Amino acid sequence: MAYLLQVDFPHDVIFGEDFSNAFVDLAKNISEESGLIWKIWTENEQTKEAGGIYLFDNEADAKRYLEMHTKRLESFGYSDIKAKIFKVNEPLSSITNATLTKKRD
């Protein structure tokens, strides 16, 4: 069973290419998280928000990651962090072309 984690927070520092360049090492670190299938990085310069959508292969890892990541974001000075965990409806998601498994190298 797959679980989706949605995280967003106020962010008004950098966006676009500068954001990408600044967080390459963090992205590499996140890619090694236990249970992580993928992450989509989100940003909205107009509303001054950033965050991510994560897909985990189990609920325990999604919850563990959320707790750890919230502490990490707070250590970076972020506050008002919003997060939700959803169980993925795999049969319907497959019909609409969702990729629910980790790509194998």
Helix and strand element counts for the chain (H, E): 4, 4
* 3 state SS of 51: strand
The pLDDT confidence band at residue 78, using thresholds 50, 70 and 90, is very high
Q: Are 97 and 77 spatial neighbours (Cβ–Cβ below 8 Å)?
A: no
Cβ–Cβ contacts within 10 Å for residue 13, how many?
11
pLDDT digit string, tens, across residues 12-57: 989 999 999 999 999 999 999 999 999 999 999 999 999 999 999 9
Q: Are 70 and 10 spatial neighbours (Cβ–Cβ below 8 Å)?
A: no
Tell me how far apart the alpha carbons of residues 92 and 94 are, in angstroms, rounded to a whole number. 5
pLDDT digit string, tens, across residues 49-60: 999 999 999 999
The model's pTM is 0.91
> For 3-92, CATH number?
3.30.70.100
Residue spans per domain, the chain? 3-92
Q: Note the pLDDT of residue 68.
A: 97
Q: Note the pLDDT of residue 104.
A: 64
